[in-house]
Amino acid sequence: MTRKCAWLRLWKVAIERRLFRCLSLCLVAASICVASGCKKGTIVRGRVTNATTGQAVSGAKVTVRFERLDANYNWVDAGHAELASGPGGEFSIEHRQLGGRFVVSAEREGFYPNHDYRRLRKLERHALRMDHLVEIQLYPILSPKPLPTGEGEVRFATPGQRTGWNFAASRMAPEAASDIVGEADETARKIASVVARGRGGILRVPGLSGEWALFNMPEAPRDGYQERVDLREIGEGERACCYVRTADGQHYAKIVIAGELRSREFFGIRFTWVYQPDGSRALEIPFDKTAK
């Protein structure tokens, strides 16, 4: 036998052994899967905690809503599940759907409701079940002293005149005296961005649907503020809370866009707002003002 033939035979034996080893591992994995009763599907599990103390919140109502793509590539409801968090705040929900997306929310008496901020997580497509880990923080309701709050608006009047909002005065004001103003889009027919004035800033964060977006985030972040927030990035039917650092750079507010304004003289946006006059970042609103 030549040296070349010997090398070929050794290479063939090595390949056969490797294939046999891989096949053996596959058979072992399959037998374990059958023995444990694993099925195709998804498990959404996680923990509910107190956002202030970090402790587990038991007995919270956890809801997982699933969506899937239909034949026309539209997202449609694929069912939901509800359960209570355990003694350690833990929860686990199984769903047989492989492809799609989901959102998890939690609520409990004494806390503001909240949800997983990666609002629509994708369900992984795998042969075996997949675990998705989610942690939801609930802020306790402290019933603080009432803060200034109400409905506000900013306007854009042709040709290029802007009227903004002053939170300390609780009213519309000339652009130079405003904390925020609205900026028109390229067609100059609607407000496309909310812009911070002076030493202020604005920061958009995800929020729950409906009016909860204003109430369930009671403390303004310390940083991350930008000059403007592009409203065109907010999806249809989506609500988002925008924190505002006022023009003096020392006070905080937050707003939720409520809708558009339009007349022959101007166009603009309406929003719900709350303001902290003492300069702290605490922006909690009494619970009886929230929408259930």
Question: Could you tell me the CATH number of the domain that includes residue 75?
Answer: 2.60.40.1120
Query: Does one domain contain both 156 and 97?
Result: no
Beta bridge partners of 76: 68
Residue 175 — very low, low, confident or very high, per pLDDT cuts 50/70/90? very high
Q: Among residues 91, 107, 138, which one ends one of the domains?
A: 138
In a domain, 144, yes or no: no
Residue 46 contacts residue 134 (beta carbons within 8 Å): yes
Query: Does one domain contain both 104 and 161?
Result: no
pLDDT at 52 over 70: yes
Q: Among residues 138, 159, 183, which one ends one of the domains?
A: 138
Cα–Cα distance for residue pair 42/140, rounded to 1 Å: 31
User: Tell me, what's the pLDDT at 18?
Assistant: 53
Residue 111 — very low, low, confident or very high, per pLDDT cuts 50/70/90? confident
Question: Of 115, 52, 60, 116, which is closest to residue 87 (Cα–Cα)?
Answer: 60
Q: Round the CA-based radius of gyration of the chain to a whole number and report it.
A: 27
The sign of the torsion formed by the CA atoms of 265, 268, 272, 278 equals: negative
Query: Does one domain contain both 108 and 71?
Result: yes
Helix (H, G, I), strand (E, B) or coil at 18: helix
Residue 208 contacts residue 105 (beta carbons within 8 Å): yes
- Domain of residue 165: give its range: 149-289
- Which of 14-18, 78-82, 205-209 reaches the highest mean pLDDT? 78-82
Cα–Cα distance for residue pair 212/208, rounded to 1 Å: 6
Residue 121 — very low, low, confident or very high, per pLDDT cuts 50/70/90? low
In a domain, 230, yes or no: yes
Query: Does one domain contain both 284 and 155?
Result: yes
Whole-number mean pLDDT of the chain? 79
In a domain, 4, yes or no: no
User: Tell me, what's the pLDDT at 93?
Assistant: 86
Query: Does one domain contain both 154 and 270?
Result: yes
Global pTM reads 0.64
pLDDT at 43 over 90: no
In a domain, 192, yes or no: yes
Alpha-carbon separation of residue 14 from 25, 27, 34, 40, 43 (angstroms): 17, 20, 30, 35, 40
Residue 83: count of CB within 10 angstroms of its CB: 13
